[in-house]
Amino acid sequence: MSSKSPGSVPPSQPRRRAVSKRSLATSLSILDAAERLFSERGYEGASVRDIAKAAGAQIASISFHHVSKETLFERVVERRASELSQLRLDALAALKQRQQPVTLDAVLSAFLRPYLEKAGAGDPQWLAYARLVAMVSADARWHTISERCFDPTAGVFIAEIAKLFPRTDSSAIAVSFIFSVSAMLSLSTSSWRIEALAGGNRQAMDQLADQLVRFCEAGMRAALEA
């Protein structure tokens, strides 16, 4: 027979210990270091030992916080993807709220500019992320990361473009969209090359973004109206 009275309060469950600020800081340092080294050396070239050293952490900390090297790589890609997707979707929503017809260049601008603004803002971590995304996009073995992190938002923009070209096959739109994404990735990681070929004439990222949107809009329109 239970000794508890009808009105007694059951013992409380043991509370989980809150993650300490130090633990969070270590996890963030590991992500930042991994982001830089993966973007510079590739997946194979960035060892767990080197990542731990760059983060000022023990090798065991990587296993504790991020399980494995592959999981760490996925988390590095994922952590900025949600922010970037939201910026793009917000830009598209703002565009559609205007009392003006939605145009192709405006849709492309809503997708391309948030990425270029982040990559061109001078934050070395975002620049490293730009190189990392270019690497992931070019390597089929990471297709599950691209499908999870980037394809849902890309699909929203492709659907908007399809509304502007209702008689065009969806595969043609997808091809043109990927061409535009490739141009964006190239610009975000190779502005130094543009400067070299332009004889040292350096342009601000917002100027380059204007040119990219015009370039992609003209190329996409030519392809989809052919």
The pair of three-digit structure tokens given for residue 118, joined into one six-digit string? 């982040």
Residues of the chain with CATH 1.10.357.10: 78-225
DSSP code string of 113-151: HHHHHHHTSS-HHHHHHHHHHHHHHH-GGGHHHHHHHTH
Where in the chain do CATH 1.10.10.60 domains reside?
19-67
User: What are the structure tokens assigned to 172, written together?
Assistant: 């043609």
- State the CATH class of domain 78-225: mainly alpha
For domain 19-67, give the fold: Arc Repressor Mutant, subunit A (1.10.10)
pLDDT in tens, 100-131: 899 999 999 999 999 999 988 878 899 899 88
What are the helix and strand counts (H, E) for the chain? 11, 0
Q: What is the pLDDT of residues 133-183, one digit of tens each?
A: 988 988 899 999 999 999 999 999 999 999 999 999 999 999 999 999 999
Query: What is the percent of the chain with per-residue pLDDT over 90, rounded to a whole number?
Result: 60
pTM over 0.75: yes
